Amino acid sequence: MSEENKRLLRTQMLLGEEGIKNLQKSSVMLIGLGAVGGYVLEALARAGIGHLLLVDFDEFEESNINRQILALNSTLGQKKTSVAKARVKDINPDCQVELFNVFVNADTLPELLSHKADFVIDAIDALNPKCCLLEELSKKNIPFISSMGAALKTDPSHIKLGKLSSSRNCPLAKFVRKRLRHRGVDISKICCVYSDEQISLPDTALQPSEEQLSEGRIRHTIGSLPTITAIFGLTIANEVICSLSGYKK
């Protein structure tokens, strides 16, 4: 048995030989390599996805370590994309990995989405880039799944996979729904992962960011758990793996 077959044997036992071949032929674009995106990446690499297009402009900081699987003392200050590629290659040397160190916005999206992908994953945590991306993906009819807000949540039993139009108790999803409706996007067709947990926050869960305050705009550092962000990412990856492999749940 080849080393590749040994790596993927247990996945093949569930998805079948054809399912594994489908994954190896698949191309997935992952936008955002942070708390949610890192766990998406981990699962896709271990599932045998053949081609990954990784998009992020950021570097790892010490504050990322509490929840980002790629954030380690050894990776602080490094580009998230380069760390992600090294991780993928260590898991699956046969995976083709392309890196895009760009900030997603209306100017960069046309070139970015010109690269073929069978599935796009939105793991962006900023509102404007997320809405621009989801609008373009909807217009182009590219299969995709989006992560809503995992911060401030503590109960994994409330994490849902569903349509954006059905999301509840998620501030990020609320703003995304409003903006996309205004742009004429059918939100009932957007698949996302969200939590409908009603949150009761301690006073310390939201703290002003000194860096943003110095610019005259109040933004907040938001509390989050490594468990919830991981489950968001793994839920997204599971949906993509089953979809691309042809597995019927």
Mean pLDDT, residues 5-27 taken together: 95
Contact 54, 98 (CB under 8 A): yes
The 3-state DSSP class for residue 88 equals helix
Q: Which of 55-64, 82-91, 135-144, 198-207 has the lowest mean pLDDT?
A: 198-207
The 3-state DSSP class for residue 53 equals strand
Q: What is the pLDDT of residues 155-176, one digit of tens each?
A: 999 999 999 999 999 999 999 9
CATH of domain 3-245: 3.40.50.720
Domain range annotation of the chain: 3-245
Q: What is the pLDDT of residues 104-130, one digit of tens each?
A: 999 999 999 999 999 999 999 999 999
Burial of 245 (0-12, 13-18, 19+ CB in 10 A): buried
Q: Would you place residue 199 in the very low, low, confident or very high pLDDT band (cuts 50, 70, 90)? A: confident
pLDDT for position 215: 42
Taking residue 186's Cβ as centre, other Cβ atoms within 10 Å add up to 12
**What is d(CA 236, CA 123) in angstroms, rounded to the nearest whole number?**
9
Q: Is the pLDDT of residue 209 over 50?
A: yes
Q: Is the pLDDT of residue 205 over 80?
A: no
